[in-house]
Amino acid sequence: MNTFVTGRRLARELGEWRSSAPAYRSLADRIRVLLMDGRLASGARLPAERELSTALDLSRTTVAAAYSKLREDGYLASVRGSGSTLVLPGRERGEHATHQGLALDFTKATAPAYPGMAAAFAAAAEEMPCHLGHDGFDMVGLPDLREAIAQSYNDRGLPTSADQIMVTIGAQHALNLVTRTLYSPGERILVEQPTYPHALDTFATVGARILAFPVRAEGGWDLPEALLQIRRAAPSMAFLMPDFHNPTGMSMSIHEREYLAAAAQREGTVLVADETTAFLDISRGELPPLACFSPNVVTLGSLGKIAWGGLRIGWIRGSREILARLLRNRPASDLGTPLFEQLVATSLVRELPLLRANRSADLRRGRDTLVGLLAEHLPQWTVNVPDGGVSLWINTETISTSALALAARAEGLGLVPGPRFGLDGAFERFLRLPFCYADEQMSEGVAILARLSSRVGSDPLRMPLQAVI
Ligand SMILES: Cc1ncc(COP(=O)(O)O)c(C=O)c1O
């Protein structure tokens, strides 16, 4: 199904699109960035030239020239009578899927597999024959794995039994299932600003109206704003990352956890706590999970960041009542989690303290290397050093990171520009840089950024900063 992008929506997504290039070219470039980083979908229909020229207060000739440039470069297809549709040319699609053409792909903030991974696969292969006598459709998870996950919560001070756990195909699948189950048409969803881009993608699939409240480098979670939004709009759910928030790497204090949990419980909003990043501690120490403060919390977990993204194992922890509802909704999207990966996951979850210690040492090295490289080559950028997570959330102060991402791509460096983490073009000056890559790769990446930053940064600012942190 083709989505239709209105002129007003495109104007919002474009944010600060002007650069020192001619207007038609800047506009075409920015639309291309939006397509490449997923803010506009391939197949989406752009507004008519007249509509966009009104929304942007531009001449129609400029918009027509921008569309014509996109068409010429293969990013726009026009069919008489049905408007202009965005297309991701084969070259770009191939790069996206296989990372070919990008010598350095910093679009993913995820580390290579835990060193014990191959052994866990080998052990699972030995165990697998015992499971071949059953049908193999597993909608809730293997008992041993659910038991091990429940135990990991008990170890963190959150009493949990195995029947409060559903194993899923990663946390992204878990979020989809939870959203389809908790959300009803017309309701709202509250998110942090910035937030995890694929959570926004999931909420878009149910047509949710999104409300946001800021998470700032100074001051943390804006509790009064969150309370205001919860009281005013009674969102059905709020999506939060309390531990090593992606992309900022920040963690909620105990006070923030207590406050948000109490406010949401009072107003009947379910808190969805995404703990995909919760095991990525470098120097913070343990904090109680958000679910310790209210029964009204559904927690998502994953082995993606701590063990390996390629394993595709995640889970949901919730009340038995919510789990029963999830189970009823699950067959519409999938018929269970693969058994082999669950066997691998069972041994990994049992070894979680070892995995955490191993990751922590690597992340510390990566973080300190990247912070050092930036201090040396890009000292004008503001970097808050996180005590966990896999990336730095950098305030470049002056640079349009959408333009930077486009220029970097031409040099073989993949980046996610700041606005991918915000609503309506916010965070144009921000950049997420992962520190889970090899030293030489980070060094090469920073050298490219330093070279490009003077070029991209020389563009005049035409609009005030929209970022909220
Ligand atoms: C906050 C957050 N949630 C969910 C996911 C997706 O996790 P999974 O790979 O388990 O689907 C990620 C992956 O980057 C993430 O950062």
The residue extents of the domains of the chain are: 7-93, 102-114+357-457, 117-353
4 DSSP 8-state letter:
B
Q: 383-386, long-range: CB within 8 Å, 24+ apart, which pairs?
A: 384/217, 384/248, 384/249, 384/250, 386/244, 386/248, 386/249, 386/250, 386/282
Say yes or no to pLDDT of 206 above 50.
Answer: yes
Between the CA of 348 and the centroid of ligand 1 the distance, in Å, is: 18
Say yes or no to pLDDT of 240 above 60.
Answer: yes
Percent of the chain scoring above 90 in pLDDT = 78
Identical topology for domains 102-114+357-457 and 117-353:
no
Assess whether the C-beta atom of 168 lies below 6 angstroms from ligand 1.
no
Assess whether the C-beta atom of 342 lies below 6 angstroms from ligand 1.
no
Between the CA of 316 and the centroid of ligand 1 the distance, in Å, is: 13
> Rounded CA gap, 193 and 154, in Å?
31
Contact 177, 330 (CB under 8 A): yes
Say yes or no to pLDDT of 117 above 90.
Answer: yes
- All residues at 6 or more sequence positions from 372 whose CB lies less than 8 Å from its CB, including other chains: none
Assess whether the C-beta atom of 171 lies below 6 angstroms from ligand 1.
yes
Between the CA of 172 and the centroid of ligand 1 the distance, in Å, is: 6
Assess whether the C-beta atom of 414 lies below 6 angstroms from ligand 1.
no
Between the CA of 304 and the centroid of ligand 1 the distance, in Å, is: 7
Assess whether the C-beta atom of 170 lies below 6 angstroms from ligand 1.
yes
Mean pLDDT (whole number) for 432-436: 96
Q: What is the pLDDT of residue 341?
A: 98
Say yes or no to pLDDT of 161 above 60.
Answer: yes
117-353: CATH number: 3.40.640.10
Contact 317, 153 (CB under 8 A): yes
Best residue among 172, 308, 421 to mutate for probing ligand 1's pocket (most ligand atoms within 8 Å of CB) is 172
Q: What is the pLDDT of residue 13?
A: 86
Say yes or no to pLDDT of 111 above 50.
Answer: yes
User: Measuring CA to CA, how many Å separate 42 from each of 1, 76, 191, 266?
Assistant: 11, 9, 25, 42
Say yes or no to pLDDT of 20 above 90.
Answer: no
Least confident of 49-58, 68-77, 99-108, 173-182: 99-108
Between the CA of 199 and the centroid of ligand 1 the distance, in Å, is: 9
Q: How confident is the model at residue 465 (pLDDT cuts 50, 70, 90)?
A: very low
Of ligand 1's listed atoms, the one at least distance from the Cα of 314 is: 10
Mean pLDDT estimate for the chain:
91
Least confident of 2-11, 333-342, 423-432: 2-11
**C-alpha closest to that of 356 among 280, 246, 249, 278:** 280
Mean pLDDT (whole number) for 193-210: 95
CA dihedral (3, 9, 10, 15) positive or negative: negative
Assess whether the C-beta atom of 304 lies below 6 angstroms from ligand 1.
yes
Assess whether the C-beta atom of 302 lies below 6 angstroms from ligand 1.
yes
The b-or-e profile of 306-339 (16+ CB within 10 A means b, else e) is bbbeebbbbbbbbeeebbeebeeebeeeeebbeb
Dihedral class, residue 183 (left if φ above 0, else alpha if ψ from -120 to 50, else beta): beta
Between the CA of 206 and the centroid of ligand 1 the distance, in Å, is: 19
**What is the Rg, in whole angstroms, of the alpha carbon atoms belonging to the chain?**
23
Contact 59, 439 (CB under 8 A): no
pTM of this prediction?
0.85
Pick the CATH number of 102-114+357-457 from 3.40.47.10, 3.90.1150.10, 3.40.50.300, 3.20.20.70: 3.90.1150.10
Q: What is the pLDDT of residue 349?
A: 98
User: Measuring CA to CA, how many Å separate 186 from each of 156, 206, 229, 230, 265?
Assistant: 37, 10, 16, 15, 21
- All residues at 6 or more sequence positions from 236 whose CB lies less than 8 Å from its CB, including other chains: 182, 183, 184, 187, 188, 189, 269, 270
Mean pLDDT (whole number) for 272-298: 97
Assess whether the C-beta atom of 315 lies below 6 angstroms from ligand 1.
no
Q: What is the pLDDT of residue 457?
A: 59
Read off the pLDDT of residues 64-110 as tens digits, 9 standing for 90 and up: 999 999 999 889 998 777 788 998 876 554 444 344 467 899 999 98
Domain 7-93 has CATH 1.10.10.10: yes
Between the CA of 63 and the centroid of ligand 1 the distance, in Å, is: 37
Q: What is the pLDDT of residue 92?
A: 53
